[in-house]
Amino acid sequence: MSDPILTLKAVHTDIAQYHILQGVDFEVPRGEVTMLLGRNGVGKTTTLKTIMGQWTAKSGEILYDGQDLKRLPVSARARAGIGFVPEDMGIFSDLTVEENMVLGATSGPLDPQRKEWLLAAFPALGTFWNSEAGNLSGGQKQMLSIARAMAEDRELYLIDEPTKGLAPAIIATMANALRELKAQGRSILLVEQNFLVAKALGDSAVVMDDGRVIWTGAMAELASNKDLQENLMGLSMEAH
Ligand SMILES: Nc1ncnc2c1ncn2[C@@H]1O[C@H](COP(=O)(O)OP(=O)(O)OP(=O)(O)O)[C@@H](O)[C@H]1O
């Protein structure tokens, strides 16, 4: 694979006394959508948080665009061009939708063209632009969380289960926005349990089990092979 945007080599992370990531290796090809898959509790969220520096890797390498991310403090990792959408969304309930969005644009005011694109992708955010984010529905908060990570153009987006608990129409809106990001040449590492979304968006897949990567390959190969899905994840993906 030539010139990946992100490379993890033998990454180990402890949480308290637990050895959670036990040598994680994979690459995220530039301009593609890479699905990070696996059963509950295998270390997907911990992997994203380790890349962002919210957990500290105790050994291994995390190379972003050729530079060693482990040398950068957490705030600098975002400024280096990585957008992160955490599973818990990280919305500020007392701030308005606009104020939350402005916080996502770390290098200055929200670019008007960017705002126009985001409001076209997520129209509900325009409707509630001046409302407190705490009043949004669960699905709207998820849209805000994603839109905030996109408030600025980033090279790489790490997104943790964006469609969890969402109604089908909102899932389609979310999937379209991610497809547009990819069309703009951006790279995405996506944790996603929804089979249809994973199949529709993923170029490649990385499957984890017990703190390690147990399979990497084309998403289409995994999506078409139920035996492989059962071997890797214990269930075929339709059953998730
Ligand atoms: N703050 C924490 N303290 C202790 N253990 C934790 C903490 N966060 C995660 N873990 C443990 O680390 C392991 C990996 O968790 P992680 O959230 O990375 O899994 P996951 O693959 O993202 O799971 P899911 O699909 O359920 O979100 C789990 O066993 C979890 O219990």
What's the ipTM?
0.95
The answer to whether residues 104 and 139 belong to one domain is yes
Rounded CA Rg of the chain:
17
Q: What is the rounded distance in angstroms from the CA atom of residue 18 to the CA atom of residue 163?
A: 29
Question: Is the same domain home to 158 and 74?
Answer: yes
Same domain (yes/no): 36, 46: yes
Give the pair of three-digit tokens for residue 108: 């200055």
Count of structural domains within the chain: 2
With a 6 Å cutoff on the Cβ, whether 45 touches ligand 1 is yes
pTM of the model: 0.92
Is the CB–ligand 1 distance for residue 130 below 6 Å? no
Residue 18 lies in a domain: yes
Residue 66 lies in a domain: yes
My answer on whether 213 and 112 are in the same domain is no
Is there a domain that residue 1 lies in? no
Asked whether residue 143 falls in the same domain as residue 193, the answer is no
d(CA 62, CA 83): 16
Looking from the CA of 72 toward its CB, the CA atoms found within 13 Å total: 21
Instruction: Answer yes or no: do 131 and 19 share one domain.
Output: no
> Tokens 């308005």 — which residue?
96
How many angstroms does the Cα of residue 36 sit away from the middle of ligand 1?
14
Together in a domain, 186 and 74? yes
Please report, in tens digits, the pLDDT of each residue of the chain (240 residues total): 468 999 999 999 999 999 999 999 999 999 999 999 999 999 999 999 999 999 999 999 999 998 899 888 888 888 889 999 888 778 899 999 999 998 888 777 889 999 999 999 899 899 999 999 999 988 889 899 999 989 989 999 999 998 888 888 888 888 998 999 999 999 999 999 888 899 999 999 999 999 999 999 999 999 999 999 998 988 766 665
216, 231: one domain = yes
118 and 166 share one domain: no
- On whether both 159 and 53 belong to a single domain, the answer is yes
Interval between CA 45 and ligand 1 midpoint (Å): 7
Q: Which residue matches tokens 């199949």?
A: 199
| Within a domain: 206 | yes
Query: Which two three-digit tokens encode residue 74?
Result: 């957490």
User: Which residue range(s) make up the domain with 115?
Assistant: 90-153
The answer to whether residues 77 and 38 belong to one domain is: yes
